[in-house]
Amino acid sequence: MDFLMRWVRRQFTTRVIVLMPVAIAINIVLGAAVQQWLKLPIYLDSIGTILVGVLAGPLAGALTGILSNLIWGYLLPSPVGSTTIGPFAVTAGVIGLLAGLWGQFGLFRPRRSRVASVLGAVVAVVMVGALALYTYVRAYASPDQFSVNTSYAAASIDQSRAFFLAVMVVYVVLVAWALFLRRDVGAVYAIGAGLVTGIVAAIVSAPIAAVVYGGVTGGGTDAVVAAFRTGGDSLYSATLKQGLLSDPMDKMITSYVVFFIVGSLSRRFVSRFPNGDRAIADAPNDAHEASPETAAES
Amino acid sequence: MTVASTAADAGLPDYVARQPSGFYRSVNPGTKLAVAALEVVAAFLLPGWVGPLLVLAVVLATAAAARRLRGLGTIALTTSPIVGSILLVNLFLLPGASDPIARLGPLAPTWSGLWFGLQTVARLMAFSLAIGLVYLTTAVDDLLADLARRGLGRRAIFVVGAAVQMVPATIERAGEIVDAQRSRGMDTEGRIWRRARGVLPLAAPVVFGALAEVEERTMALEARAFSAPGRQTLLRVPADRPVHRAIRWAAILALVVIVVLRATGRLG
């Protein structure tokens, strides 16, 4: 019990308490900015949540995610405030919780390529790929189950397979970029962690979208839900498939951005957080370091 | 002795001691939260049209009496994209619907889809407007002060309060960064992969700029004994009259009754 209390208290130092509102603001502003200015079909509204999870721990990450959605949904005026985001606080909490676990396992630590790390990365790629394959095969590629559930012909399975392929292509491209351009095996772990987080987030958010919003949330992803429903999917099934397409891609990109951000911060700054020592590279590499101040200037 | 007079007696300035006035605005924030929670649960758990329409009627009547109908209209307008999506998707694509209104080429809008879509929209509006009314009639400071009085820790109060204050400043900064990056060639109008290349040039300065303040704020808080043990003294506490408490407990009781009836299948 005492150990548990210490573990909880350790995650909420004054520095983490200061980081949390900053992270919430980052979530809300970048989430809105990506939709408003870049008009991309991803959310990018959990950079702050994953950052807190990685640097502080699972509980701090979960609380940051939950508070982000509640504040965004219910405490900010229009047009920034968006009541549709509020019910997804549960999903945001799970994302923060998972990010905290990944941080404790050291998955966001930069690892400039070494033989052991490369071998580890290969194992991680195979494991994550197998997990993703299993999930998508269960969700998408079973013509028998599809026909039994929907009484439709299994023609739209092809469409599902195309979506599955798109997610895996994004994963492979990001991993290749990390390995061959940045030469950093740590990024592979971070992207893999993002893929798993995205799959879990999709599973958690599907019933919320189906029950609260009838499967549509007013964003670009509604077209995907509509496409699946045209194929005969039930409401829950359509929102789950849409989530399994959007969320893994979003969380892979978000995790990669967080990995880049953590790697760009100074070791001194990062190490002051409860999990900071698990997010910094083993050997200092001054060429890639910057304090928040100098990083902002660059 | 009222809370306001206590604050005035303590020699606090008027802007600290003043309590909100006007219908519903003067109600205790905790009571308004409990009523909103009841309205949200009723909108989703009462069967058919009864729940959402009842909640909408109560919310609109309260907003009219509190002179907040215009603000509620703005909130309703912001939900129009999702309302449009819900109606269109269900009108044309509700699985199993076989009662077409008309034939429009390959598309066939159905009565069942229209009915289901309208009911979903009514629930969504009841949910959004119930929460919106709390926002429109409650200052965030009052809500946080009331939560602090009820035992919410200073750390949670700081996180919520600081986040609400920080968002407008961060939005302004993000706008400046987008303008600066556009002038350096960031593409916000081209093909999707060109726009995707703008993610890092936008995200990195926003995040690093925000993180730059963390160290200073940490030191400022520690210098003000933020981590010191013991309870904080609250300068101002929102009023909590007996009638407010009665409404709050009635709302909580009604909420529990609805959930239990629904769970036991007695609400259909």
B130-158 residue pLDDT tens: 988 998 899 888 888 888 888 888 888 88
Q: How far apart are CA A12 and CA B169, in angstroms?
A: 25
Q: How far apart are CA B132 and CA B126, in angstroms?
A: 10
ipTM of the shown complex: 0.77
Distance from the Cα of A144 to chain B's closest Cα (Å) equals 19
Domain map (residue ranges) of chain A: 2-297
Q: Give the other-Cβ count within 10 Å of B67's Cβ.
A: 14
Cis-peptide into B95, omega within 30 deg? no
Q: Give the other-Cβ count within 10 Å of A191's Cβ.
A: 27
Residue A257 is nearest to which of B94, B117, B203, comparing CB atoms? B203
Distance from the Cα of A204 to chain B's closest Cα (Å) equals 19
Dihedral sign, CA of A246, A265, A4, A101?
positive
- B211 φ, ψ (degrees, to nearest 5): -70, -25
B172, B208, B216: best mutation site toward chain A, by most A Cβ within 10 Å? B208
Contact between B203 and A47 (Cβ < 8 Å): yes
Q: Give the other-Cβ count within 10 Å of B141's Cβ.
A: 13
pLDDT of residue A150: 45
pLDDT (tens place) for every residue of chain A, 298 residues total? 778 888 888 888 899 999 999 999 999 999 888 877 887 777 888 999 999 999 999 999 999 999 999 988 878 766 677 777 888 999 999 999 999 999 999 999 888 766 666 776 777 777 777 767 766 666 555 555 545 544 444 555 555 666 667 777 777 787 777 777 777 788 888 988 998 999 899 889 888 888 777 767 666 566 677 777 766 677 777 788 778 777 888 898 899 889 989 988 888 899 999 998 888 876 554 444 455 555 544 4
pTM for the model stands at 0.79
- The B residues from 77 to 106 touching A (CB cutoff 8 Å) are 77-79, 81-86, 89-90, 92-95
B131 interfaces chain A, CB cutoff of 8 Å: yes
B167 and A76 within 8 Å at the Cβ level: the answer is yes
Rounded mean pLDDT, B202-213: 88
A212 and B117 within 8 Å at the Cβ level: the answer is no
- A39 φ, ψ (degrees, to nearest 5): 50, 50
Q: How far apart are CA A191 and CA B79, in angstroms?
A: 34
Contact between B111 and B101 (Cβ < 8 Å): yes
Give me chain B's average pLDDT, please: 85
Query: Which residues of chain B neighbour A68 with C-beta distances below 8 Å?
Result: 163
- A265 φ, ψ (degrees, to nearest 5): -80, 160
Q: Least CA distance to A66: which residue of chain B?
A: B160
B162 interfaces chain A, CB cutoff of 8 Å: yes
B199 and A40 within 8 Å at the Cβ level: the answer is yes
Dihedral sign, CA of B191, B193, B198, B199?
positive
Query: Which residues of chain A neighbour B29 with C-beta distances below 8 Å?
Result: none
